[in-house]
Amino acid sequence: MPITPVSQMVAAARARITELDTAEVMTMADDPDVVIVDLRDVRERRNGFIPGSFHAPRGMIEFWVDPASPYHKPIFAEDKRFVFHCASGWRSALTVAALQDMGFDAAHLRDGFGDWVAQGGPVEMPAPRD
């Protein structure tokens, strides 16, 4: 059986989810009713992250969102708008499609953190490690 290319999976996800461009998410970043969720690996966050973003590794996100899961995180039960992002928009597109299948309403930053930085979005650096 041939493997479905991940690019095809991302394209299919993008066709059915809400995509937000970088400028739009920049205007939402300080809104207390919006949670920006960073799906990137902890090592990627060493190069900076969107100030105020919530870190949720992609491998756990379905478990963190599901209120019936023993791994549920209360932030995902809040009445907020959730915008997910990764480095380039591929992982977040797949994630939002999966969460949509679960009944969770979310959007994603179409071009990811890389575009956020390129567009001059604010970036916070992690505290130095001891």
Spatial separation of the C-alpha atoms in residues 16 and 7, rounded to whole Å:
15
Residue 93: its pLDDT value, please? Answer: 98
Give, in order, the Cα–Cα distances in Å from 123 to each of 32, 100, 104, 115, 117: 18, 28, 27, 12, 7
In contact, 82 and 37? CB cutoff 8 Å = yes
Task: Compute the average pLDDT of residues 86-108.
Answer: 98
Per-residue pLDDT band for 76 (boundaries 50, 70, 90) equals very high
pLDDT above 90 for 86: yes
User: Tell me, what's the pLDDT at 129?
Assistant: 76
Q: What's the rounded mean pLDDT across residues 14-33?
A: 97
Q: Domain segments of the chain: what residues?
A: 6-118
DSSP assignment string, 58-93: GGGHHHHH-TTSTT--GGGGSS-EEEEE-SSSHHHH
- Model pLDDT, residue 107: 98
Q: Which CATH architecture has domain 6-118?
A: 3-Layer(aba) Sandwich (3.40)
Output the pTM of the full model. Answer: 0.95
